Amino acid sequence: MPTCFVELSQVKILNSEDADWIQENQHSLCDRILYGCKETLFNQLI
């Protein structure tokens, strides 16, 4: 789980096009968790 939070900081700088790319190319469970919870986590971080 800690790894997911580390990756979250990297995903945070991506634009919408990059987010779409991630959605299409997510292969790990961590990536799926990040994409599924992205908006909720961002609202808490901002």
**What pLDDT is stored for residue 16 in this prediction?**
60
Give the model confidence (pLDDT) of 1-46 as tens digits: 454 455 555 555 555 666 666 656 555 656 667 666 666 666 676 5
In this structure, are residues 18 and 27 in contact, taking their beta carbons and an 8 Å threshold?
Answer: no
Alpha-carbon distance 38 to 26, whole Å?
13
**What pLDDT is stored for residue 1 in this prediction?**
45
